[in-house]
């Protein structure tokens, strides 16, 4: 796991040079279509983060890293040498970018900047699984805000790991709502595939919540030992 604090108020000279050397013309054109400068910066710096670390692991220049979209639109590497080996995921919110990288296992990461919410319970009733809604409603109202974001990031990390997105149904599984990093995941639709996934909460600055999910089963179906190493990265 790498964490990058993005420069969203305009590029420094060093940031602009790093981006110019790493990202493609197509990515710069795509960034230019964002209306807000902060969104342009977040996209470009996210692609810089992706390309720098993936290029390092592949032994190619950042600009030469090539991507394709998987079955459900999830970004994957288009390198034969990396097929079935490197998996990655990127998330961004506010001024923070998170990048997760693993070998031989799918993973997903999510980060959310907290915002004022008067309708957290109503949104939870619409998108969360019944056990999660029950847990949230049982809490003191003062805890609703932080707990909502804790559950949301955990569920987002799972659907990003599976590649299917929110449309696959957030009500099909439930996550624990308490604060510890080790998160309980329970499938509610009878699909045994939910047993493959592990979720961990991630340390973040105040007013941010993040989580990472990954497949903890080996090719033989047995458990594998997965260590999450966390870094903060300053590319310039």
Q: What is the pLDDT of residues 174-191, one digit of tens each?
A: 999 997 777 999 999 998
Task: Report the range of poorest mean pLDDT among 59-63, 189-193, 215-219, 222-226.
Answer: 222-226
Exposure letters 91-126 (e unless 16+ CB within 10 A, then b): bbbbbbbbbbbbeebbbbbbbbebeeeeebbeebee
Q: How many CB atoms lie within 10 A of CB 147?
A: 20
- DSSP 8-state assignment for residue 80: G
Q: Encoding tokens for residue 14?
A: 């060093």
- Whether 110-215 and 2-105 are alike in CATH topology: the answer is yes
Tens digit of pLDDT for each residue in 12-22?
777 788 889 99
* CATH architecture for the domain at 2-105: Alpha-Beta Complex (3.90)
Three-state secondary-structure class, residue 214: strand
Q: What is the pLDDT of residue 132?
A: 97
Q: Encoding tokens for residue 78?
A: 């288009």
pLDDT at 235 over 70: no
Which residue reads 């949301």 in tokens?
A: 152
- Domain residues of the chain, as ranges? 2-105, 110-215
Instruction: Give the pTM.
Output: 0.89
Cα–Cα distance list, 225 to 105, 190, 230 (Å) = 12, 26, 16
H or E stretch at 173: strand 173-175
Tens digit of pLDDT for each residue in 45-99?
899 999 998 998 888 999 999 998 877 788 888 865 554 578 999 999 999 999 9
CATH fold of the domain at 110-215:
Ribosomal Protein L22; Chain A (3.90.470)
Using an 8 Å Cβ cutoff, are 193 and 180 in contact?
Answer: no
List, in sequence order, the alpha helices (H) in the chain. 13-22, 25-32, 37-58, 120-127, 130-137, 144-162
Residue 223: is it exposed, middle or buried by C-beta count within 10 angstroms (0-12/13-18/19+)? Answer: exposed
Q: What is the pLDDT of residue 220?
A: 64
Mean pLDDT, to the nearest integer, of 140-152?
Answer: 94
């Amino acid at each position: 796991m790498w964490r990058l604090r993005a420069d969203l108020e305009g590029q420094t000279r060093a940031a602009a040079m790093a981006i110019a050397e790493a990202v493609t013309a197509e990515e710069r054109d795509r960034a230019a279509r964002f209306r807000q400068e902060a969104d342009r910066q977040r996209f470009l710096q996210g692609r810089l983060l992706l390309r720098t670390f993936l290029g390092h692991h592949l032994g190619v220049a950042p600009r030469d890293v090539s991507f394709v979209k998987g079955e459900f639109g999830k970004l994957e590497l288009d390198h034969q040498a990396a097929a079935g080996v490197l998996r990655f995921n990127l998330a961004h919110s506010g001024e923070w970018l998170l990048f997760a990288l693993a070998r031989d296992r799918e993973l997903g990461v999510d980060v959310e900047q907290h915002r004022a919410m008067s309708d957290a319970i109503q949104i939870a009733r619409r998108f969360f699984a019944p056990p999660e809604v029950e847990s949230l409603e049982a809490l003191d109202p003062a805890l609703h805000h932080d707990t909502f974001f804790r559950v949301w990031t955990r569920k987002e990390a799972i659907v990003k790991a599976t590649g299917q997105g929110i449309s696959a149904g957030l009500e099909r599984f439930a996550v624990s709502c308490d604060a510890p990093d080790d998160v309980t995941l329970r499938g509610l639709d009878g699909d045994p595939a939910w047993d493959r996934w592990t979720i961990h909460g991630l340390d973040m600055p105040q007013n941010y919540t993040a989580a990472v999910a990954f497949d903890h089963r080996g090719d033989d179906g047995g458990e594998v030992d997965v260590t999450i190493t966390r870094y903060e990265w300053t590319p310039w």
